Amino acid sequence: MPETVQIKHATLPLRERMKIPRQHMLEQSAIERAANFKEVNLGYTTELASREARRCLYCQKPTCMTHCPVGVKVQEFVDLIVAGDFAAAAAKIREDNVLPAITGRVCPQEDHCEGACVLAKKGESLGIGYLERFVADYEQSTGIVHMPTVPPTGKRVAVVGSGPAGLTVAGDLVQRGHAVRVFEALHELGGVLTYGIPEFRLPKNIIKQQIDYLRATGVEFETNVVVGKTVTIDELMQEEGYDAVFIGTGAGAPLFMNIPGEHLNGVYSANEFLTRVNLMKAYKFPEYDEPIVSVRGKDVAVIGGGNTALDAIRTALRLGARKAYVVYRRSEAEMPARAEEVRHARQEGIDFQLLTNPIEFLSDGNGWLGGMRCVRMELGEPDASGRRRPVPIAGSEFDLPVSVAIISVGTSANPVIQRSSPGLATDKRGYIQADPETQRTSRKGIFAGGDIVTGSATVILAMGAGRRAAQSIHEYLMNG
Ligand code: FAD
């Protein structure tokens, strides 16, 4: 690697750059934030962002970029931050990522760009996610929209579902001159970003601004349309004249544990709990009097160890839970949640009952939950997922006194479209089968991607599928 790399603006010698420590983002204090729904992370200042950007090594083989599912040109946008041209940095990200203010907040960068950053081998990786968030927020503050420059093609595409997969397809196709309309079953746009991820991690106004940006570039949106019921895909193509359809309907149907007592009042799926808080605005209590406020003053447990579980329990804490437990059957090392979320949850006082599994929900005698019978676990041999299998320890049963339990043990495919679209191939669990390179389905002109194909995954993987689908839809529309 050369001593001083010439991209454009990097002038500090490599040795000096390596001496700069990673700049940490400002956060609300744990005590303060545990009682409010304001964002936990407060973002970089201009000074912090500029200092962090100067840490980039400008590697000749930028693995950060090749490990990004949407291929963001990390070096180039970071270099524009070094130059102080934040608007150009935002425009550079937008070439590959239509939702930068969202991925800058919730993408698991440690598994992608930052995990592949050379700096991580010797210390801490470049704060690529933090820098992305900084320029995306800067762009939103300017209100500048980069309009597509290509002439209209006259082709029309229907996108089903307004989660990150659908939004990415829409944003990419409109930039290529196609007319795009997004159909969403719910009354709010954004998919899990809106109804799942809570305000304190991803504020609703950020999602709205990112969607407004897409609207300004020409994407049309229609809510309260359940494709498969209100209108079928065949009707969209044959009667309404759409040339292609993209299905990005997600995997939001909750799985349950099938243990005794699951029917008791006070036992929720994480999906229901978070939807009530996010869409029915329980987080704005008492302005919105949503019944979920029954967690106030109660002891609450979430079962599971993913992002959804931590979002649910941290939400319960903010709604006034007295004790808030995470009950997870493996150890912290196997938890699928992002490390940052686990750290934040611990700081806020969440009690982690690890290597613990519920075996029964206990009644209080009046049809409500009165407690949870649990068993302690130990880790045995690895299972099919490669993680060590949790095995119950005989005689270790105990009762956890909780009056609200939130089940967060996974989800399955949203089913409506599959049932109403003859010839659309699915696997045995109901997920739509699509070619992993082109996102083509078994039906001509119909493409699919995101959680409805892969099962529950991540925002950036759904967006990666959206990008691939947009590319092949474009080729299909232009070349047949
Ligand atoms: P979705 O986001 O599920 O969107 C699908 C949309 O399609 C929905 O709006 C749905 O209403 C709509 N729809 C369904 N059926 C129809 C129909 N028939 N007609 C019209 N519309 C329909 N990932 C991360 O990377 N980082 C995180 O921090 C993170 N946190 C998460 C927290 C929670 C609580 C949850 C539940 C998930 C989290 N994830 C996270 C996962 C991530 O949000 C999903 O992988 C991603 O949203 C999937 O995107 P998608 O576009 O495939 O589907």
Tell me the average pLDDT of the chain: 92
Q: Is the pLDDT of residue 273 over 80?
A: yes
Query: What is the dihedral angle through the alpha carbons of 31, 32, 37, 41, rounded to the nearest 10 degrees?
Result: -90
pLDDT in tens, 220-258: 999 999 999 999 999 999 999 999 999 999 999 999 999
DSSP letter at 110? Answer: G
May I ask the CATH architecture of the domain 254-410?
Answer: 3-Layer(bba) Sandwich (3.50)
Nearest protein Cα to ligand 1, atom 40: 458
Beta-bridge mates of residue 352: 326
Average pLDDT on 361-386 reads: 93
Whether 103 lines ligand 1, by a CB cut-off of 6 Å, is: no
pLDDT in tens, 115-149: 999 999 888 999 999 999 999 999 988 887 777 67
The pLDDT of residue 9 is 64
Nearest protein Cα to ligand 1, atom 27: 106
* Per-position DSSP letters for 223-245, written without gaps between them: -S--BTTTB-HHHHHHTS--SEE
Whether 462 lines ligand 1, by a CB cut-off of 6 Å, is: yes
The pLDDT of residue 14 is 81
Whether 458 lines ligand 1, by a CB cut-off of 6 Å, is: yes
Whether 228 lines ligand 1, by a CB cut-off of 6 Å, is: yes
pLDDT in tens, 285-304: 777 776 665 788 999 999 99
The pLDDT of residue 357 is 97
Which of 110, 192, 224, 307 to mutate for ligand 1's pocket (most ligand atoms within 8 Å of CB)? Answer: 192
Whether 248 lines ligand 1, by a CB cut-off of 6 Å, is: yes
Query: By percentage, how much of the chain surpasses pLDDT 90?
Result: 81
pLDDT in tens, 3-13: 344 455 666 78
Confidence category of residue 2, pLDDT binned at 50, 70, 90: very low
Whether 450 lines ligand 1, by a CB cut-off of 6 Å, is: yes
Helix, strand, coil proportions of the chain in percent (round to 5)? 35, 20, 45
The pLDDT of residue 146 is 75
The C-alpha atoms of residue 469 and residue 460 are separated, in whole angstroms, by 14
- Domain 3-142 grouped into CATH 1.10.1060.10: yes
* Per-position DSSP letters for 238-303, written without gaps between them: HTS--SEEEE-----EEP----TTTTSBTEEEHHHHHHHHHTS-GGGTTTS--GGGGGTTSEEEEE
CA angle centred on 309, ends 260 and 341, rounded to 5°:
155
Fold (topology level) of 156-252+413-479:
FAD/NAD(P)-binding domain (3.50.50)
**Contact between 405 and 424 (Cβ < 8 Å):** no
Q: At what angle do helices 307-318 and 270-278 cross, to 10 degrees?
A: 50
The C-alpha atoms of residue 157 and residue 303 are separated, in whole angstroms, by 40
Separation of CA 162 and ligand 1 centre (Å): 8
The pLDDT of residue 145 is 74
Is the overall model pTM greater than 0.95, yes or no? no
Ligand 1, residue 186: give the atom nearest the CA. Answer: 11
Ligand 1, residue 191: give the atom nearest the CA. Answer: 9
pLDDT in tens, 153-189: 999 999 999 999 999 999 999 999 999 999 999 999 9
Domain limits, CATH 1.10.1060.10, in the chain: 3-142
* Per-position DSSP letters for 371-434, written without gaps between them: EEEEEEEEEEEE-TTSSEEEEEPTT--EEE--SEEEE-S-EE---HHHHHSTT--B-TTSPBP-
The pLDDT of residue 44 is 96
Whether 192 lines ligand 1, by a CB cut-off of 6 Å, is: yes
In this structure, is the dihedral angle defined by the CA atoms of residues 63, 66, 69 and 71, taken in order, positive or negative?
Answer: positive
441-445 long-range Cβ contacts below 8 angstroms, 24+ apart: 441/247, 445/237, 445/243, 445/244, 445/245, 445/476
Domain limits, CATH 3.50.50.60, in the chain: 156-252+413-479, 254-410
Whether 108 lines ligand 1, by a CB cut-off of 6 Å, is: yes
Nearest protein Cα to ligand 1, atom 34: 308
Whether 162 lines ligand 1, by a CB cut-off of 6 Å, is: yes
pLDDT in tens, 63-111: 999 999 999 999 999 999 999 999 999 999 999 999 999 999 999 999 9
Which ranges of 25-153 does DSSP label H, i.e. alpha helix? 30-33, 46-53, 63-66, 74-82, 86-94, 100-106, 113-116, 119-122, 128-142
Neighbours of 347 (CB within 10 A): 15
The pLDDT of residue 127 is 96
The pLDDT of residue 6 is 46
The pLDDT of residue 292 is 66
The pLDDT of residue 147 is 72
Confidence category of residue 417, pLDDT binned at 50, 70, 90: confident
**Contact between 136 and 101 (Cβ < 8 Å):** yes
SS3 label, residue 318: helix
Whether 164 lines ligand 1, by a CB cut-off of 6 Å, is: yes
Which of 204, 234, 236, 249 to mutate for ligand 1's pocket (most ligand atoms within 8 Å of CB)? Answer: 249
Neighbours of 55 (CB within 10 A): 24
Neighbours of 98 (CB within 10 A): 29
The C-alpha atoms of residue 42 and residue 389 are separated, in whole angstroms, by 38
Which of 195, 307, 460 to mutate for ligand 1's pocket (most ligand atoms within 8 Å of CB)? Answer: 307
Beta strand 299-303 pairing with 323-327: parallel
Separation of CA 193 and ligand 1 centre (Å): 6
Ligand 1, residue 166: give the atom nearest the CA. Answer: 51
Whether 163 lines ligand 1, by a CB cut-off of 6 Å, is: yes
